[in-house]
Structure 1
Amino acid sequence: MTNDSAIMLRRNFKHTVRNPVTLFNAILLPVVMMLMFVYVFGDAFSVGGAYVDYATPGMLMMTLAYGLSATAVSVNSDMTKGIINRFKVMDVSRGAVLTGHVVSTVVRTIVALTVITGVAFLMGFSPSASFPQWLALIGVLLLTSIAVAWLTVALGLAAKSAESAGFTTVPLIMLPFFSSAIVPADKMGPGVREFAEYQPFTPIIESVRGFFNGTPSTGHTIAAIAWSVGIAVVGYLWARKKFTKRA
């Protein structure tokens, strides 16, 4: 099982490296968005401090979401183009196929998050987090990445075609825009404000922001972990059910 998962990870990683669109969406597009929001729109937002310090946690969440469409498309392609049948002939563990997609998504996300954090520092980002707080926020981001990776795999399996699989991740990509990623939720209009406050990405962003500021919020962190675990469980069970049904 472990060896099969490693093979699937290597295969998916090679596909990612060879696909410029995936690399652009996962790594370069978040950098462009970071530059645009901080340098073009940053002065328009009143956040009580340097906008780059406020925006970085939100940009990390956007970065986490931007590369998901490639995972959904890849998973669906494996199912619809007969590749899974080839793996069955090769006696590759069926669980390793799903695990390989999840792990490759997480690895790609870690690389993208590292890049965007580096860009943030070049733009003047100055966090106050201690070493334990850095470890905590990395843990929150890693857990979130695993959770959305499983959900994305499930969405890819549920889609009827590779084209529609890409569209299934649009809500996940758009959610950060309707959260506290760009501006505080309390500055939004009625309706949007309530949605932003109670959707899953806002407590995750606020948890990471609190750790960066050196003032961690226990409530936001507990909510972030609860949301991530819940999404991971739903995604995993849904993915296994769809995979068993279709493979």
Structure 2
Amino acid sequence: MTTPTAFAPTAVALTGRSLRISSRQPDALITALMLPVMLMLIFVYFFGGAIDTGTAYVTYVVPGAMLLCAGFGAASTAVAVADDMRNGVVDRLRSLDVGGVPILAGHVAASVARNLISTALVLAVALAIGFRPQAGPLGFLAAAGLLLAYITAISWLAAALGLLAKTPEAAGGFTFLMMFLPYPSSAFVPIDTMPGWLHGFADHQPLTPVIESLRALLLDQPAGNSPWVALIWCAGILALAVVLSATLFERRTR
């Protein structure tokens, strides 16, 4: 088992490995970076004129586009973990006395790095097409911290799903829910415009308080208790994902 003193350098080395693999797959990397941007542009220019949000639609939609980035990035993490399990990479690392936590932490850290780049790209494009955040330095820091907490949580969840899946293809299918969840939320349309039977789910699913908090923080508006609810969701998802990852890793590598 990896000792505490060896954990950090091992995790850093495995993070570098995951990032190098990403750089050698430019088609997948470009898709992960550009698809959220393309979806944001489609919503703004194709549908935005028909949706009344009480503000410029690009201003409304940016937080949801950021969470789409995280969903796509998490999907690639699940596939990478499943691929390592199938190809015997994890077995080779285990033979070198590398524990499960640094192996998975390397995938998660690489996912966070890729997601931050993708989010920065979405924000840059949004600024170019009219998004004008009103937040001060503290508001930007709070929004960045919340987004980082969400990305970390779902990246660990994706790692667990990668361990649960038997093949990389199945891992991609398991992560569909994370990419779908922004749609039945307040990401792209106000919840009160949805069918009544959908309101309960949209109001109480984890992405809605994250999106509402990011929107309020970036626009310097009252956020109420949404940031705390969002952080509780992130902490709960992270705790569940880490425990599930450890359990599944132990079972898969016996």
Provide TM-score, normalisation by structure 2. 0.94
* Deviation (angstroms), 1:205: 0.1
Please point out which of 60, 66, 69 is paired with 1:54.
60
Please point out which of 192, 201, 220 is paired with 1:195.
201
**1:77 is aligned with what amino acid?**
D
Task: Specify whether residues 193 and 163 from structure 1 end up closer, same or farther in structure 2 by C-alpha distance, changes over 3 A only.
Answer: same
* Deviation (angstroms), 1:161: 1.4
Please point out which of 233, 239, 243 is paired with 1:233.
239
* Deviation (angstroms), 1:35: 1.0
**1:124 is aligned with what amino acid?**
G
For structure 1, list consecutive stretches of 5 or more residues without a partner in the other structure: none
For structure 2, list consecutive stretches of 5 or more residues without a partner in the other structure: 1-6
Secondary structure at 2:225's aligned position in 1?
Answer: helix
- Residues 1-247 of structure 1 mapped to structure 2, 5 A cutoff: 1-247=7-253
Secondary structure at 1:178's aligned position in 2?
Answer: coil
Task: Please name the residue that 2:4 is paired with.
Answer: none
The 2-side partners of 1:33 and 1:17 are apart by 23
Give CA-to-partner distance per residue, 1:137-170, whole Å, 9 cap, x none: 0010000000001110001101121111110000
Q: Which moved more, 1:132-141 or 1:13-22?
A: 13-22
Contact residue 100 and residue 246 of structure 2 kept, 8 A:
no
Give CA-to-partner distance per residue, 1:170-200, whole Å, 9 cap, x none: 0110000111000011111112222111111
* Deviation (angstroms), 1:82: 1.1
**2:156 is aligned with what amino acid?**
W
Identity of aligned residues (%): 36
Secondary structure at 1:177's aligned position in 2?
Answer: coil
Contact residue 36 and residue 65 of structure 2 kept, 8 A:
yes
Give CA-to-partner distance per residue, 1:187-218, whole Å, 9 cap, x none: 11112222111111011000000001101413
Task: Please name the residue that 2:3 is paired with.
Answer: none
Q: Which moved more, 1:212-221 or 1:196-205?
A: 212-221
Secondary structure at 2:196's aligned position in 1?
Answer: coil
The 2-side partners of 1:166 and 1:83 are apart by 19
* Deviation (angstroms), 1:116: 0.3
* Deviation (angstroms), 1:69: 1.6
Provide TM-score, normalisation by structure 1. 0.97
